Structure 1
Amino acid sequence: MTEIRHIVFDIGKVLLHYDPDLPFSRLIPDPDERRWFFDNVCTSAWNIEQDRGRTWEEAEAEIIPLFPDHAENIRNFRRHWHEMVPHAYDDSVALMEQLIDGGHDVTLLTNWAADTFVEARGRFPFLEKPRGITVSGDIRAIKPERRIYDHHADTFGLAPAATLFIDDSPKNVDGAKAAGWQAVLFTGAEQLEADLRRLGVRL
């Protein structure tokens, strides 16, 4: 296995907590109604198009005519987005910072809407510490599409075989491997530290 010279972190559910239920448990108190709303109205497939670069205005205009009775809560998805990302995972952030302080080349690669990521950068200063970030909404490509991995490697001069990717999504891990990267599935900071040691990364 090629020695790891570059380490790439995902952000959501690796470094930052994300949960749409946090505001919507208040906005739609009934759990069955709330689940129906996420399964049929503001679905994961609808939301990820904002990660691909679609504006929130376009996203709302697409589904409000289909679900006019839910217009207010459709708009609430963007209005209350800040509540969905309440805090960082301190142990993961500390591990990332330890890698940076130890001289490792660390970058970030995330599926994230462009405008909400600007907000996240303002709220969580540690996002400025890695050498750079690829945000899917800025380049209109999302993981696990091959193009976003190739774009990130080209932008930051990464050798794919010497790059380790860390993500909480199995399909995104598989996408990185298909792009020629090494990759591990994130399940927690303790396991990540063990994975890094196993792969010969000096901490």
Structure 2
Amino acid sequence: MEIKNIIFDFGGVLMDWDPRYFFRDYFKDDERMEYFLQNIAQSEWNEEQDRGRSLAEGTEIQVKKFPEWEKELRAYYDNWTVMLKSDIPKNVEILRRLGNTDYQLFGLTNWSEETFPYALENYDFFQIFNGKIVVSGTEKMIKPDPKIWHVLLERYHLNAAESVFIDDNPKNIEMARSLGFTTIKINPDTDLEQELEGLGIQF
């Protein structure tokens, strides 16, 4: 079936976000930093904010659990913008080129409703999507829950079989594939242009 829609995840695909960009300087001790990120402010905790829990509530829950890490936990969302280091230029360039084609472009992202507006305001390429972005924090569900793909499909009247889904997370890729999407798994060395051309996408 002909591809008509191209759906982008954001973190790791178009945006370079990593808490280490802040905490490396904060701790000046990689071992302590990794302990904190693996055991105290772990990704499962951050994902609950992506699922719609407020940053304030998420912080208080964790401070109550780990009072000895209160200062570091409060620093997490206070310095979130430092963690959003930059866009990923080579992939953003592909997005810009796709913006001049007839393909429909969409975003499907696990992102807190409170922090996403900062990215939206500070990186102009998000405008290419013309607001056709499904944000997990707004929907109160996160990938790989299949329901969030159904939100995208139903809201924009899409057919999964006519759509390419691009993400850096293997679980999300697996789920999208099971729902009928063609998928591209992004790694740091992925040549996105080559991958898309391999699927017959024409720039």
Shared fold, TM over 0.5: yes
Counterpart amino acid of residue 156 in structure 1: Y
- The alpha-carbon deviation at position 29 of structure 1 amounts to 1.4
The residue number in structure 1 matching 2:58 is: 59
The residue number in structure 1 matching 2:119 is: 120
Counterpart amino acid of residue 59 in structure 1: G
Q: Please, which runs of 5 or more residues in structure 1 have no aligned partner?
A: none
Structure 2 residue 144 is matched with structure 1 residue 144:
yes
| Aligned-partner Cα distance in 1 for 2:99–2:39 | 42
- The alpha-carbon deviation at position 26 of structure 1 amounts to 1.4
Counterpart amino acid of residue 11 in structure 1: F
Q: For 1:202, what is the secondary structure of its paired residue?
A: coil
- The alpha-carbon deviation at position 188 of structure 1 amounts to 4.8
Q: For 2:115, what is the secondary structure of its paired residue?
A: helix
- The alpha-carbon deviation at position 6 of structure 1 amounts to 0.4
Greater Cα shift, 79-88 or 179-188: 179-188
Check whether the contact 1:167–1:184 (CA below 8 A) recurs between aligned residues.
yes
Counterpart amino acid of residue 70 in structure 2: A
Structure 2 residue 106 is matched with structure 1 residue 88:
no
Cα separation, partners in 2 of 1:67 and 1:188, compared to 1, 3 Å: closer
Deviations 1:63-106 (A, max 9, x none): 11121111111011100000011211111111011111122111
| Aligned-partner Cα distance in 2 for 1:123–1:133 | 16
The residue number in structure 1 matching 2:168 is: 168
Check whether the contact 1:111–1:136 (CA below 8 A) recurs between aligned residues.
yes
Cα separation, partners in 2 of 1:189 and 1:9, compared to 1, 3 Å: farther
Structure 2 residue 30 is matched with structure 1 residue 25:
no
Cα separation, partners in 2 of 1:190 and 1:30, compared to 1, 3 Å: closer
Counterpart amino acid of residue 192 in structure 1: L
TM-score normalised by the chain length of structure 1: 0.96
- The alpha-carbon deviation at position 134 of structure 1 amounts to 0.5
| Aligned-partner Cα distance in 1 for 2:175–2:140 | 17
Q: For 2:183, what is the secondary structure of its paired residue?
A: strand
Check whether the contact 1:20–1:84 (CA below 8 A) recurs between aligned residues.
yes
Q: For 1:17, what is the secondary structure of its paired residue?
A: strand
Count of residues paired in the alignment:
202
- The alpha-carbon deviation at position 190 of structure 1 amounts to 5.6
Identity of aligned residues (%): 31
Q: For 1:115, what is the secondary structure of its paired residue?
A: coil
- The alpha-carbon deviation at position 108 of structure 1 amounts to 0.6
Q: For 2:191, what is the secondary structure of its paired residue?
A: helix
Output the aligned Cα RMSD: 1.2
Counterpart amino acid of residue 147 in structure 2: R
Q: For 1:87, what is the secondary structure of its paired residue?
A: strand
Moved over 3 A (4+): none
Cα separation, partners in 2 of 1:106 and 1:169, compared to 1, 3 Å: same
| Aligned-partner Cα distance in 2 for 1:62–1:34 | 20
| Aligned-partner Cα distance in 2 for 1:123–1:56 | 20
Counterpart amino acid of residue 198 in structure 1: G
- The alpha-carbon deviation at position 187 of structure 1 amounts to 2.2
Check whether the contact 1:109–1:134 (CA below 8 A) recurs between aligned residues.
yes
Q: Please, which runs of 5 or more residues in structure 2 have no aligned partner?
A: none
- The alpha-carbon deviation at position 10 of structure 1 amounts to 0.7
| Aligned-partner Cα distance in 2 for 1:28–1:60 | 19
TM-score normalised by the chain length of structure 2: 0.96
Check whether the contact 2:55–2:114 (CA below 8 A) recurs between aligned residues.
no
Check whether the contact 2:107–2:129 (CA below 8 A) recurs between aligned residues.
yes
